[in-house]
Chain A
Amino acid sequence: ASAQQTINLTAISGYPPPATWIGALVDAYIPAVDAQLAKTGNFKINWNRGISGQIVKPRGELEGVETGLGDLGVIVTAFHADKVPLYDVSFKTPFVSNDIELISRVTQKMVDTFPQYNDVWLKNFNQVALAPTGAVDNYMLWSAKPITSIDQVKGLKVGAAGPNLPWVTAIGAAGVQTNLADAYNSLNTGIYEAMIVWRQGAGAFKLCEPAPFAYDATLGGVNGFSLNFNSDVWDGLPDEVKKAMRDSTPAWVAENVKRVNDGATSGVARCEAEFGTKVTTASVEERNQWAQALPPLGKQWAEARNKAGQPGTEILKAWMDEMRAANQPIARHWDRE
């Protein structure tokens, strides 16, 4: 142990530990790396947990890792459709899967299969991507008044994050672009009467207080994050440390997935206990009707990617093939249009 080398590493995020992907980083990933390195005792990481916006604000993680303010960080790929659009495939294929573990795993498979994912990170943003993970298990429509049929959505003011907006405008809602931060107040005050959000989010932000009714049409989940290293720092790490960093990513993914799923269960439980939440499950016909009302999101996305010289069509097909192979409740085959 006398020859032990200490390496200083700063992990960054604009989000605090209650965010599942950061809680998983602090409570699962970092301990897993430490444990693996402790086996030989050659290296010890001196972690600086630069999370909670200490070093970068939300959405600032990509450039924080790129410029070396952080050595590693969790990039919210969902916010950077202009920079890493390939991660967006899950947003363009709703009504497909509500298995966040599967979504994480298949995204990893896309990253492994198509080198364009890593090329973009390395060439344009000076970073190495270790692993992606899912953000959302299943989006639902939460509303102040009960919704039992998609016809009731027509003319309703519905809040949604940008990428989710086309899902509701397609069935006649007046879409209001929003974010979780404003949601409670906006629902409370009628800026919008319903919102597209997942169960863990609804519970954690108490959105079910102003919007106690949930309509579940299995809109499905999305991938949202990538754990990245600054590539200069990465190149300077000893191989044993690099290996520990890679080997530990499943712990991060698994813990994040677990927290999202547990949060969904406890979120709904909290909503039911405190605010009398009622979840209505859409009939198969209603769900199909909603899915068919959407524009061909997958095809549009794939064509835009093709035009940019990326294998959009191939990725979309590979994505849907994986989902079909896993017997997901697919309401629309986005790659066959």
Chain B
Amino acid sequence: MTGLEIGVASIVAMLVLIYIGMYVPIVLALISFVGVWIAKDNVNIAVSLLWLASAKTVGNFLFGVIPLFVLMGLLVSAAGMGKDTYDIAHSFLYRVRGGLGMATVVANAIFAAITGVSIASATVFSRISVPEMLRYGYKGRFAVGTVAGSSVLGMLIPPSILLIIYALIAEESVGDLFIAGVGPGLVLTAAYCALIAIMAYGFPNSVAVPETFTDKPGEDDHTLSGRELFSKGFPIFVLIMVVLGGIYAGFYTPTEAGAAGAFVAFLFALARRTLTWRRLWDILVETGHISATLLFLIIAASMYSRMLGITGLPTQLGDWIGGLDASFGLLLFMYVVIVLVLGTIIDSVSIMLITVPLFLVVLAPFDVDLVWFGIVTIIAVEIGLLTPPLGLAVYVIKSSLDRDDISLADIFIGAAPFALTMLLVLILIILVPDISLFLVELRRSLI
């Protein structure tokens, strides 16, 4: 079988097996094992693939962000700070129809400044926003969809693990890429709020039960007093300074920022007396469960992408594209389509490692701004967090919520309008490079 045949067959097999309920990492491992066995006609090499991926995928300092940011996320919610972010956003937005959804989006945009991984955003807000939205009569699908959609802001607005990884592949400045993420992050935030407004006014039944939007005289007043605003806002501000300030003006890497952030959140939780020994232990066990699940998923996804590499699919693809002699517009279109398709089945980092070097070669003659190309890449890759069958943000929400009444399918369906909005924003970012580059140019002109 050629790489292409194995690739196609593996996708079909993956869809079937995941759908009938086999554990996702087991599906990926099984398909990888069989794929290598077929490609190499040697079972020992297939065994080696499983072991090598198991032993050598996550043993990297960078992956420390996962347990640490998950821990920070859980401690932040234990200290009530995620809820505070949410209350602040809510106090400005509760009068608007769909305001709870918008508050979730805005709170995510703020929270994005203290997290580098969307996983953390998804964890925190599935625990804070979803119950709140359900309480006010919002539909489950809309609630989880909003959380899933807005969690991608976590890796678009700096700090961002994905931007760092892109910078490494493309040999671009991490600082430039971080700054370039700000504009598109704000545009996406605005686009999500617009989407929610359109849904709430145009299709209210898709958002909440009818009673939620009928004006009631005794509606709760969510406006915060100045004092409340300060007491809720100050710890968040401190955490942003510790995490983001620490990375920028300060003193450490994203992984260390995760640890420092978790520690500060721990102190706040202690100070607010919201943490008992038992609660702390539960949080640690929970951190472990979420981290182990995600890391094992990353390991299994890595088995799969390594298997594809062994079948020669990326090389075949590269040769084919290189031989096309296509225009820049067509190449960029193909790039985005390939990233989106890969995004349905493999993890963000693997997609970037496979496609970016390939297209850097292909696009080299066109004198592309690689910072802008990076932002295009990140958004395209992040759409994959929301698309089935493998949508990491969706899985995270499913595992953080741990509720039987909200299925994986519900979350994917709820996230679909947000994925579509991302696609529109992606097109806008492609057509108007200045959204990404404005601040970068400004910074470059200041030096």
Q: Which residue of B lies closest to A179 (CB)?
A: B61
Contact A189 B252 (CB under 8 A): yes
**B: contact size bracket:** 35 or more
- Kindly state the separation between the CA atoms of A64 and B52 in the bound complex, as whole angstroms: 8
**Cβ of A53: which chain B residues have Cβ within 8 Å of it?**
353-354
Once A67-B52, A184-B174 are accepted as A-B contacts, the answer to whether A52 and B44 lie under 8 Å apart by CB is no
Q: Please, how many angstroms separate the alpha-carbon atoms of A189 and B52 in the complex? A: 35
For chain A, which range describes its interface: under 10, 10 to 19, 20 to 34, or 35 or more residues?
35 or more
Q: Does B306 contact A (CB under 8 A)?
A: yes
Across the interface, B175 reaches (CB within 8 A) one of A184, A191, A275, namely A184
**Closest chain B residue to A53, Cβ basis:** B353
Once bound together, how far apart are the Cα atoms of A53 and B164, in whole Å? 16
The interface bits of chain B over 157-172 (1 if a CB of A lies within 8 angstroms of the residue's CB, else 0) are: 0000000100111011
B245 to chain A, nearest CB (A): 10
A108 at the interface (CB under 8 A from B): no
Residues on B with beta carbons closer than 8 Å to the beta carbon of A206: 171-173
How far, in angstroms, from A237 to B328 measured CA to CA in the complex?
41
Closest CB in chain B relative to A68 CB, distance in Å: 5
Complex Cα–Cα for A59 and B61 (A): 13
Are B173 and A10 in contact, with the CB atoms below 8 A? Answer: no
Q: Is A329 an interface residue (CB 8 A)?
A: no
A192 and B310 CA atoms in complex are apart in Å by 40
* C-alpha gap A190/B174 in the complex (Å): 15
Q: Are B173 and A63 in contact (CB under 8 A)?
A: no
Does any Cβ of A come within 8 Å of B309's Cβ?
yes
Out of A16, A49, A51, A63, name the residue touching B56 (CB < 8 Å).
A63
Q: Which of A48, A185, A188 contacts B315 (CB 8 A)?
A: A48
User: CB-CB contacts of A64-92 with B at 8 A, as 1s and 0s?
Assistant: 10011100000000000000000000000
Q: How far is the CA of A18 from the CA of B60 in the complex (A)?
A: 22
Taking a contact as CB atoms under 8 Å apart, the answer to whether A209 and B251 are in contact is: no
Q: Are B169 and A16 neighbours in the complex by a CB distance under 8 Å?
A: yes
Give the chain B neighbours of A18 by CB distance below 8 A: 171, 357, 360
Q: A17-B361, A48-B312, A55-B309 are in contact. Are A190 and B52 (CB under 8 A)?
A: no
Which of B40, B56, B250, B356 has the most A CB atoms < 10 Å from its CB?
B56
Do the beta carbons of B357 and A68 come within 8 Å of each other? Answer: no
Contacts of B175 in A (CB 8 A): 184-185, 188, 209
Residue of B nearest to A18 (CB): B171
- Residue contact B56 to A56, C-beta cutoff 8 Å: yes
Residue of B nearest to A60 (CB): B56
Quick check: is B247 within 8 A (CB to CB) of the other chain? yes
- A65 to B223 CA separation, bound complex (whole angstroms): 63
Residue of B nearest to A50 (CB): B309
Question: What residue in chain A is nearest B444 (Cβ atoms)?
Answer: A274
Instruction: Please classify the interface of chain B as helix (H, G, I), strand (E, B), loop, or mixed, using the class held by over half of its residues.
Output: helix
* B168 nearest in chain A by CB position: A181
On chain A, the residues within 8 Å of B353 by CB distance are: 52-54
List 29 interface pairs A-B (beta carbons < 8 Å), by A numbering.
A16-B356, A17-B357, A18-B357, A18-B360, A48-B310, A48-B312, A49-B315, A49-B318, A52-B354, A54-B306, A55-B310, A56-B56, A59-B56, A67-B48, A67-B51, A68-B42, A68-B44, A68-B48, A69-B52, A184-B167, A185-B174, A188-B175, A188-B248, A189-B246, A189-B248, A189-B250, A189-B251, A204-B171, A275-B447
Task: Determine if A190 and B315 form an interchain contact, defined as CB atoms under 8 angstroms apart.
Answer: no
Instruction: List A contacts of B306 (CB < 8 A).
Output: 54-56, 69
Partner of A63, one of B42, B52, B164, B447: B52
In the A-B complex, the 9 residue pairs with the closest CB atoms: A54-B309, A67-B48, A16-B357, A48-B312, A55-B309, A52-B357, A53-B353, A68-B45, A50-B309
Contact with B57, one of A57, A191, A204 (Cβ below 8 angstroms) = A57
Q: Give every chain A residue within 8 A of B310 (Cβ-Cβ).
A: 10, 48, 50, 55, 69
Cβ-defined contact, A190 with B354, below 8 A: no
Residues on A with C-beta less than 8 A from B40 are 68
Tell whether B253 is near chain A: CB-to-CB under 8 Å: yes
Contact (Cβ within 8 A) A54 B169: no
Chain B residues with Cβ under 8 A from A52's Cβ? Answer: 169, 353-354, 357-358
Is B260 part of the binding interface, using a Cβ–Cβ cutoff of 8 Å?
A: no
Confirm or deny: B305 has a beta carbon within 8 angstroms of a beta carbon on chain A. Answer: yes
Which of chain A's residues 1-22 have a Cβ closer than 8 Å to chain B? 8, 10, 16-18
In the complex, whether B249 has a CB less than 8 A from a CB of chain A is yes
> Could you tell me the distance between the alpha carbons of A168 and B320 in the complex, rounded to whole angstroms?
49
Using A10-B310, A50-B309, A188-B175 as known contacts, say yes or no to A69 and B250 having CB atoms under 8 A apart. no
Q: Residue A191 contacts which of B48, B52, B251, B315 (CB distance < 8 angstroms)?
A: B251
Complex Cα distance A190/B40, Å? 49
Q: Is the CB of A54 within 8 A of B253?
A: no
Identity of the chain A residue whose Cβ is nearest the Cβ of B171 in the assembled complex = A204
Chain A: minimal CB distance from B444 (Å) = 9
B312 touches A10 (CB 8 A): yes
CA distance A52 to B315 in the complex (A): 11
Q: Indicate whether A47 reaches chain B with its CB closer than 8 angstroms.
A: yes
Chain A residues contacting B45 (CB-CB under 8 Å) are 67-69
B-contacting residues, A225-243, CB 8 Å: none
Q: A49-B315, A56-B306, A205-B171 are in contact. List 19 more A-B contacts (CB 8 A).
A: A10-B312, A16-B169, A16-B356, A16-B360, A49-B318, A51-B357, A52-B358, A53-B354, A54-B309, A55-B310, A60-B52, A64-B52, A69-B45, A69-B49, A182-B253, A185-B175, A188-B175, A189-B248, A189-B252
Q: Is A107 an interface residue (CB 8 A)?
A: no
The answer to the question of B183 belonging to the interface, with a C-beta cut-off of 8 Å to chain A, is: no
Given contacts A53-B353, A54-B306, A68-B44, contact A185 B57 (CB under 8 A): no
Q: Is the beta-carbon distance between B248 and A54 smaller than 8 angstroms?
A: no
Cβ contacts under 8 Å, B169 to chain A: 16, 52
**Is A127 an interface residue, CB under 8 A from the partner?**
no
The yes or no answer to A277 lying at the interface (CB within 8 A) is no
Please give, as numbers and ranges, the residues of chain B lying within 8 Å of A8 by CB-CB distance.
312
- Check if B378 is an interface residue, CB within 8 A of chain A: no
Report the Cα distance A17→B359, complex, angstroms. Answer: 12
Residue of B nearest to A11 (CB): B315
Contacts of A190 in B (CB 8 A): 250-251
* Interface residue? A169 (CB, 8 A): no
Q: Which B residues, 391 to 443, have Cβ-Cβ distances below 8 Å to chain A?
A: none
